[in-house]
């Protein structure tokens, strides 16, 4: 199904508020946003990632962004080809590996995107002074909330939808993720264009298109978060087993 056909099917639920309208307009009609997400999820379930992104960017215009952890630039590569200048939100926690910061800078230089670097309300030093050192070890949920979740929610107030690189095969909690979803907590539409891709498809696309990849991926870190909470993973192990190892924690809170 083409984007034009999808949009024709969604014509009664098209998102037609312009970017100059009241920025809280999505809050005023969350049911409409929910209906749009549900119908788009049905229409786009088997669509190519490019068509999902094209629908999303045509629908939301400047009120959509990409969020990227900078493990790779696959979604950035896809989206920037369709909508050059799209905002790419990076959560600069203060705890990232130098390689991740380097990948962020390379993405900003190589792709036609607007890199939005988001920092927490407290620096690491301020957080240590207020809450004690190494909060990530004592209360990783709170640390993730303060350095990832809250900064993202603050930033998403500028948008009505966001594009992610979430894939179903990554964790059990992501198995039921749909290609388009309504996030009731944030009252935003969340677009997951590669949700059905396998690791093999990801690797093939990256190799075929010369996509930028964080060098840590090739050094035993298939899933990359903060350096304080990410370990190398043995070959053949769960790719996310190096995240918060030994804590039972599997998500930072952004995608739950």
- Check if the beta carbon of residue 35 is closer than 8 Å to that of residue 10: no
What phi and psi values does residue 239 have, to the nearest 5 degrees? Answer: -55, -25
Q: Average the pLDDT over 136-141 and give the result.
A: 93
Q: Average the pLDDT over 24-35 and give the result.
A: 72
Q: In this predicted structure, what is the pLDDT of residue 249?
A: 72
Catalytic (active site) residue 252: yes
Specify the DSSP element, H or E, that contains 89: strand 87-91
State the catalytic residue, choosing from 65, 143, 144, 252.
Answer: 252
In DSSP terms, 180 is beta-bridged to: 191
| pLDDT at 2 exceeding the cut of 90 | no
| pLDDT at 106 exceeding the cut of 70 | yes
- CA 1 vs. chain centroid, Å, equals 25
Q: Average the pLDDT over 224-233 and give the result.
A: 92
DSSP secondary-structure letter at 223?
S
67: three-class secondary structure by DSSP = strand
The mean of the pLDDT values for the chain is 87
Q: In this predicted structure, what is the pLDDT of residue 50?
A: 98
Alpha helices in the chain (DSSP H): 3-9, 25-28, 30-44, 49-60, 74-82, 98-110, 124-131, 135-138, 140-144, 150-156, 199-209
Render 134-149 in DSSP notation, one character per residue.
Answer: -HHHH-HHHHHIIIII
Return d(Cα 207, Cα 209) in angstroms, integer.
6
Residue with tokens 């990948």: 103
Reported confidence tier of residue 130, pLDDT bands at 50, 70, 90: very high
| pLDDT at 37 exceeding the cut of 80 | yes
| pLDDT at 7 exceeding the cut of 60 | no
Q: Which whole-number Å values give the CA distances from 147 to 119, 157, 161, in the listed order?
A: 7, 17, 21
| 79-83, 89-93, 110-114, 166-170: least confidently modelled range | 166-170
Strand order in the sheet with 161-163: 114-118, 87-91, 64-67, 161-163, 188-191, 180-183
| pLDDT at 42 exceeding the cut of 80 | yes
Q: Give the closest residue to 53 by CA, choosing from 135, 160, 164, 167.
A: 164
Q: Average the pLDDT over 141-161 and give the result.
A: 95
Q: In this predicted structure, what is the pLDDT of residue 45?
A: 94
């Amino acid at each position: 199904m083409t984007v034009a056909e999808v949009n024709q099917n969604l014509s009664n639920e098209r998102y037609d508020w312009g970017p100059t309208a009241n920025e809280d307009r999505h809050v005023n009609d969350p049911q409409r946003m929910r209906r749009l997400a549900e119908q788009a999820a049905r229409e786009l379930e088997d669509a190519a990632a490019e068509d999902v992104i094209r629908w999303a960017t045509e629908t939301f215009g400047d009120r959509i962004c990409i969020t990227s952890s900078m493990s790779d630039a696959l979604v950035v590569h896809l989206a920037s080809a369709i909508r050059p200048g799209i905002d790419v939100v990076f959560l600069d926690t203060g705890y990232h590996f130098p390689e991740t910061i380097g990948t962020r800078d390379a993405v900003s230089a190589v792709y036609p995107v607007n890199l939005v670097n988001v920092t927490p309300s407290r620096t690491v030093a301020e957080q240590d002074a207020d809450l004690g050192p190494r909060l990530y070890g004592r209360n990783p949920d709170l640390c993730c909330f303060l350095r990832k979740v809250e900064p993202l929610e603050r930033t998403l107030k500028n948008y009505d939808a966001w594009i992610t690189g979430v894939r179903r095969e990554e964790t059990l909690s992501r198995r039921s993720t749909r290609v388009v979803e309504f996030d009731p907590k944030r009252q935003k539409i969340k677009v997951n264009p590669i949700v059905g891709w396998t690791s093999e498809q990801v690797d093939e696309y990256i190799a075929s298109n010369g996509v930028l990849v964080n060098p840590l991926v090739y050094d035993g870190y298939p899933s990359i978060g903060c350096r304080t909470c990410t370990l190398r993973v043995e070959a053949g192990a769960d790719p996310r087993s190096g995240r918060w190892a030994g804590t039972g924690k599997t998500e930072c809170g952004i995608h739950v």
